[in-house]
Amino acid sequence: MVALIVGLKWQLLRNGLRRSTPQLVGLILGGLYGLSVLVVVATGLITLRFAVPSDAARTVVIIGGSALTLGWAVFPVIAYGIDETLDPARFATFAVPRRQLVLGLLVSSLVSVPAAVTTILGLATVITWSRSVLAVLVAPVAAAVAVLTCVALSRVTSTAFSSMSQRRRGREAVPVLVLLLSVGLGVVGSSIMKHLSTPGLLPHVADVLGWTPLGLAWAAPADIVDGATGTGLLRLLLAVIVLAAALLVWDLLLRSALENPRGATSERAVTRDAGLGWFARMPATPAGAVAARSLTSWRRDPRYISSVALMLLLPLGLLLPPLSGGSNLWSLAMAPTAGFLLGWSMHNDIAYDGTAFWTHVATGVSGRADRIGRLAPTAMAASALLPAYATLGCALTGRWSLWPALLGVGVGFLLTGFGVANVMSALKPYPVPGPGENPFGAPPGSSALTVVIQAVAGAAVFVLNLPLVAIGIGALTGRVWMGWLCLGLAVVLGSGALGLGTWWGARIYERRAPDLLADLARIR
Amino acid sequence: MLSLHGLSKAFGSTLAVDRLDLEVPRGSFFGFVGPNGAGKTTTLSMATGLLRPDAGTAHVMGHDVWSDTVRAKQLVGVLPDGLRLFDRLTGMQLICYSGLLRGMDRALVVERAHELLGALGLQDDGGTLVVDYSAGMTKKISLACALIHAPRLLVLDEPFEGVDPISTSTIRQILQGYAASGGTVILSSHVMDLIQRLCDRVAVVAAGQIRAVGTLDQVRSGMSLEERFVDLVGGATDVGEGLAWLRSSSD
């Protein structure tokens, strides 16, 4: 049975390569790149064998190993839905004894490129630690425990996730989790970068990590080499316990996944909403209906939630340089950046409808109503965000005279962005993740078209706003009247661009609505 | 009511619909049957303005679906197959959305939506997100969306697929009442028995062309619709004595 499962995984890996030539070329290039990185790292590990004293080797192996283990544990969260090849729930209908299934799935997890890389790195550390007889005996065991722990942890995460994502609620929590995770990693990463120069910090970090489940197995041989045999063996024992615990948790999760496939018996987490919601608040016109529908989707569809979060966070990222002692001037760019992102982001809005867009085609809704209604959520967000960011920028720099200029450039970017988006989204939608899919995943085979359309939309918005940016920079030099000019021009030019874009986009929409539906059906 | 002339559509090198002509008289309950891949969905999509034909015309009460678009679409209610819904809306919101998109008055839309939910047995589910609906409930809510503007012609693609017997009977009653009061229905289905009981006119389509069309009795010509269908379309495999190991009595 174990051999059969491993064989299945091997077959899947080979079939994955059989798809198309461009994919194969990409894979080979990626593989070559990965291989060169692997060779460099492995060579480094072997060179560390000869480093005197062995402290450097200890620090590098423990921190690197812990990071690798953490990566294994976290990766299934970010990449969920990408590799479901051996989803345990798919074995539910076959009567495979669970012990054999656990063993088979564990061994089959080793048949993958990342596992092979990790194994090679583990073997390289054996050479790093080949400084004494005892170390040579302990290091391979520790390396094996470390590699198995990596695989077991990733299985735990992905099994927990696959049972969680059976339920819509669970699936919708994922993007928020990913976002929090990446923000957390970013904060930790930046503070590490900041303190990197502090002497003695890294060995200290390594000491701490060496006692966490992530680093135990990687640290054990280092103790042996340092002569602390007792400590080393204790760590090895603890590492084995961690591995056993991970396997046990996985086994338990598998049991629930197998006995309860597809969350069949779990209670249905149903959202109820008796009223009409936004449909009661928006004007009772086709445009108002489209606006209400967009607003409802923005609230309930995780794909919009995650893009909103990104648009909120990206301008806030401009606060990082001032906070870490850089120039305050960065914070002035917040309002313009937010305006640009919010306006530009609408250029593929229709793709998020998917084939549900047929409702618009079948009802024969006018191009103008469709174009204008879609802008509602972003316009509402922007009307709060742009003044807030402009105010924040002024507060941080103390240059209140710049407020009209900041708001002006932001509004200009926003409105021209809307105008460009109204034309672009009627022309050519490009693939986006479907409802319920990983909002951060890119659907395959889309990259070239996606990049071209995004770049064209971005460039168009930017070029149209060059005069405003120039006047804004003029205001930066202290001419207050230029700031007010900028704001006034932004409203006039922006409204013009929006009006023109809506008119043109509506004409294209009315000509192409069925073709848009065909495009949407094809990219789905 | 609905007239299609020379409709053609090719996807790549496959000809899905090949110069198809069809007349659906006013007040008829029209069954559109054919094997998988016969071009049913493609034809109905082109007839309702959802898919642009390569050639040919479609008229609803004399209005060209592809040039007099708005007028034609006001007369038609559509339930397509295999397309998504805006499923993050509640059932109530989805029906109202279809009405408001057509420019209807909000009070009227809300009133009709409540009536439709009641008639379809969904009165307790109007506040539930459509994504949480079962397959049968989803079909019923789609039907409600197609009916909200009181269309003259209903075009329903597989309205009974994945629907349980109780909901099937509900939908049937609503459709029969609609047809009895002068509405025209065209629906596609695989279930011959259902078509036989519901429809007064039938068209059999295969490989993108009409094989037989007329009143139910004309098309049946003395056989059951299923026998006549297999006869017209051909290609049923005679299982004969194969798969012997599957017969548990053989050991």
Q: What residue in A sits closest to B129 (Cα-Cα)?
A: A271
For residue A301 the two structure tokens come to 């569809």
Determine how many CB atoms are found less than 10 A away from the CB of residue A26: 11
For residue A88 the two structure tokens come to 């345990």
Q: What residue in A sits closest to B148 (Cα-Cα)?
A: A363
The per-residue pLDDT for A171 is: 61
Nearest Cα neighbor of B175 from B81, B77, B82 is: B77
**CA gap A263, A165 in Å, rounded:** 9
Low-confidence residues in chain B, pLDDT < 50: none
Q: Which residues have CB under 8 Å from A25's CB, separation 6+? A: none
**CA gap B85, B138 in Å, rounded:** 9
For residue B182 the two structure tokens come to 């002068």
Q: Is A296 on the interface with B (CB under 8 A)?
A: yes
Contact B133, B91 (CB under 8 A): yes
CB–CB contact A362 B86 (8 Å): no
Torsion of CA B160, B162, B168, B174, to 10 degrees: -50
Burial of A57 (0-12, 13-18, 19+ CB in 10 A): buried
Residue A295 Cα, gap to closest chain B Cα (Å): 10
Calculate the alpha carbon distances from A7 to A13, A100, A114, A343 in Å.
10, 14, 18, 50
The per-residue pLDDT for B30 is: 94
Under DSSP, the state recorded for B202 is E
Question: The tokens 């077959």 sit on which residue?
Answer: A11
Contact B48, B65 (CB under 8 A): yes
Determine how many CB atoms are found less than 10 A away from the CB of residue A107: 15
Omega prior to A53 cis, within 30 of 0: yes
Q: Looking at chain B, which runs of residues are DSSP E strands?
A: 2-11, 14-24, 29-33, 55-60, 63-64, 76-79, 153-157, 184-189, 201-206, 209-215
pTM for the predicted model, two decimal places: 0.74
Write phi, then psi, for A9 (nearest 5 degrees): -65, -40
**CA gap B153, B72 in Å, rounded:** 10
Residue B84 Cα, gap to closest chain A Cα (Å): 4
Q: Is A376 on the interface with B (CB under 8 A)?
A: no
The per-residue pLDDT for B104 is: 92
For residue A340 the two structure tokens come to 């640009």
Under DSSP, the state recorded for B129 is B
Q: Is A279 on the interface with B (CB under 8 A)?
A: yes
Write phi, then psi, for B203 (nearest 5 degrees): -125, 135
Contact A336, A409 (CB under 8 A): yes
Residue A416 Cα, gap to closest chain B Cα (Å): 26
Q: What residue in B sits closest to A277 (Cα-Cα)?
A: B93
Nearest CB neighbour to A514, from listed B51, B82, B85:
B51
The per-residue pLDDT for B184 is: 94
Residue B93 Cα, gap to closest chain A Cα (Å): 6
pLDDT 10s digits, B129-158: 898 888 889 999 999 999 999 999 999 999
Low-confidence residues in chain A, pLDDT < 70: 13, 16-24, 26-27, 77-89, 92, 162-180, 182-183, 185-199, 260-274, 306, 310, 320-326, 436-448, 524
Name the pairing type of β-strands B184-189 and B153-157: parallel
Determine how many CB atoms are found less than 10 A away from the CB of residue B35: 18
The per-residue pLDDT for A274 is: 67
Q: What share of chain B is helix, strand, coil (3-state, %, to 5)?
A: 40, 25, 35
Q: What is the ipTM of this complex?
A: 0.91
Q: Which residues of A touch B73 (CB under 8 A)?
A: 362-364
